[in-house]
Amino acid sequence: MLRHGESARPYWFKVQLEQRAETGDWVLATQTTALKDVRFYGPFDATGRTLAPAVHTGLSQPFATRPLVSERYLMRLQLPGPGTYTVYARLVGETAPLLALSAWDTAEYLQWRQHKRLFDGICYGILIALLVYNLVLAGIFRDATYGFYIGQCAFALLTLASFNGHAAHYLWGHWPWWQERGNVVLPGLWLIFGTLFARSFLDTRRLPGLDRLLLSLALLAALAALLGLGGQFSTAQTLNEIVSSAGALLAAVAAVVILRSGFKPAQWYLGGQALLFLSVLGVVLVNWNVIDAPFLLANGLQIGVAAEMVVFAIALSRRISGLRTSQTALRLHAAHLAEAAATDPLTGLANRSGLAQKSTQMLADGAAHALMLLDLDRFKPINDAHGHDAGDAVLRAVAARLQAAMRAGDIVARLGGDEFVILLASPLPDDQLEALARRLEAAVRQPVDFQGQALTVGASTGIARSPQDGRTLTELMRSADQAMYQAKQSGSGHAFWGAVP
């Protein structure tokens, strides 16, 4: 068995098989698909006679050269009788993690391959479902993090398909040039999007040092992809391994720091990283013969990738949920501030700014409306004799009475001091406006109890109507103000703008 780093030149294997039964049907298969050139010669019987034509396959050859339409490279050995047979294998692979051969009974191999394809299909289905689901969410939320996740998921899927041989089988089996390059270019693109996803999801801009390191790793992954396209497979593979190891470590450190700052979705990111790490660790332990788990050796990477992407999808949903909650809170806070800015703090009525905001839409329809401007009489003596607390109590009581007397669509506002404005949403005939003014004046005159004392004020009301007395709030206020002073001077209690001489 030879490991990555020793395999840039051809390696020869001599395999001797002892056949005891009358006939035998075997396959001699490689452990990996990441081999540039694979040649099998034999089997040779004890006399040196060859029993089958040579097999020449590998990434540099079309997929059709692979016997039994197998994703792995193999030679079928149909042995005619008992005896010792010899097979020679020549393997070339610049990026293969290991060079090894295994012998299978053909029927058992075909059954194992069927199970392997079924399991691979399940993993691919999970990744495709995540890809489609998050494509939809990306269209809805328009969040760059979803774009990076989609890129990571898509290139993880293509990388697994390339490593498993399915990409060559179903996608680009007639394009050997890309079969070779895809094995290093696709992982490089996966690492680019994985690094960008980590930066965006964890918002590592808050950690400038780590953020710059992650960006540097993304650039290294891009360099690896370019080198792979240029045919520098060994160098590109080495860069990919450096980026994947250092990137996982840096992203984990960033996630821990961000989690400690209170960003809870970071724990999901750590969970996804941990699942992939444990799966890869399991594969490494099998390769080192620490544990015996053939299933884990064959499927560990894609189990880890599928689990990681599922957890990352959950992390994204938690992140978006948190962002939407924060945005909702910010909108509510902004609305509260806007409402507070438009509200008179003493009476709870609209203030001058609130009146301007609410009246704009009401007056924009061009329909008939009426504005009533009320100025309290005998208010200053109350303030002077009893203090500002007494004056405030009177103003709150008057505001409540005015509000209670009006309809739901009408606007009641306090301009400041002892002036109030009422803007009627729908028109009333002059006689009904006059009756309303009298009711309001009567309500205002009701005594206000303050610390056992009955405080009484009156009101002078000026009435302006749109459109004849003005079309804008400013015009109506000017007309109503002049009418109010006329009412105050005449002592009539109220006056229409049209009646002012």
Average pLDDT rounded to a whole number, residues 420-435: 91
Distance CA 205, CA 215 (A): 11
**pLDDT given at position 4:** 45
**Which of the four pLDDT bands, split at 50, 70 and 90, describes residue 105?**
very high
**Which of the four pLDDT bands, split at 50, 70 and 90, describes residue 3?**
very low
Q: Is the pLDDT of residue 154 over 60?
A: yes
Percent of the chain at pLDDT exceeding 70? 95
Please write down the HEC assignment for all residues of 341-396. Answer: HCECCCCCCECHHHHHHHHHHHHCCCCCEEEEEEEEECHHHHHHHHCHHHHHHHHH
Q: Is the pLDDT of residue 6 over 60?
A: no
Q: Is the pLDDT of residue 335 over 80?
A: no
**pLDDT given at position 96:** 62
Q: For the structural domain made of 109-332, what CATH number should be given? A: 1.20.1070
This prediction has a pTM of 0.69
Percentages of the chain per state (helix, strand, coil), in multiples of 5: 60, 20, 25
Distance CA 34, CA 12 (A): 16
Contacts of 439 (CB under 8 A, 6+ apart): 405
* Structure tokens, 88: 């020679």
From residue 219, give the alpha-carbon distance in Å to each of 164, 186, 225, 239, 255.
27, 15, 10, 11, 21
Q: Is the pLDDT of residue 2 over 60?
A: no
**pLDDT given at position 499:** 62
Check: CB of residue 86 under 8 Å from CB of residue 16: yes
Average pLDDT rounded to a whole number, residues 332-338: 74
CB-based burial of residue 452 (10 Å sphere; 0-12 exposed, 13-18 middle, 19+ buried)? exposed
Matching CATH number, 2-106, of 3.40.630.10, 3.40.50.1980, 2.60.40.2380, 3.40.140.10: 2.60.40.2380
The answer as to CATH 3.90.800.10 being correct for domain 352-499 is: no
Average pLDDT rounded to a whole number, residues 40-63: 95
**pLDDT given at position 278:** 84
Check: CB of residue 473 under 8 Å from CB of residue 359: yes
- pLDDT tens-digit map of 225-239: 999 999 999 899 899
CA angle (284, 124, 182) in 5-degree steps: 70
- What 3-state DSSP class applies to 94? coil
Average pLDDT, the chain: 89
**Which of the four pLDDT bands, split at 50, 70 and 90, describes residue 99?**
confident
Q: Is the pLDDT of residue 323 over 80?
A: no
- pLDDT tens-digit map of 336-353: 777 778 889 999 999 999
**Parallel, antiparallel or unpaired: strands 24-30 and 11-19:** unpaired
Q: How many CB atoms lie within 10 A of CB 127?
A: 22
Domain chopping of the chain, boundaries: 2-106, 109-332, 352-499
Average pLDDT rounded to a whole number, residues 174-186: 95
Q: Is the pLDDT of residue 98 over 90?
A: no
Closest by CA to 176, choosing from 231, 222, 226, is 231
Check: CB of residue 76 under 8 Å from CB of residue 106: yes
Q: 């009412």: which residue's tokens?
A: 487
Which stretches of 71-143 are DSSP H helices?
A: 106-141
Give the chain's end-to-end CA distance (angstroms, integer). 112
- pLDDT tens-digit map of 239-250: 998 999 899 999
What's the DSSP call for residue 317? Answer: H
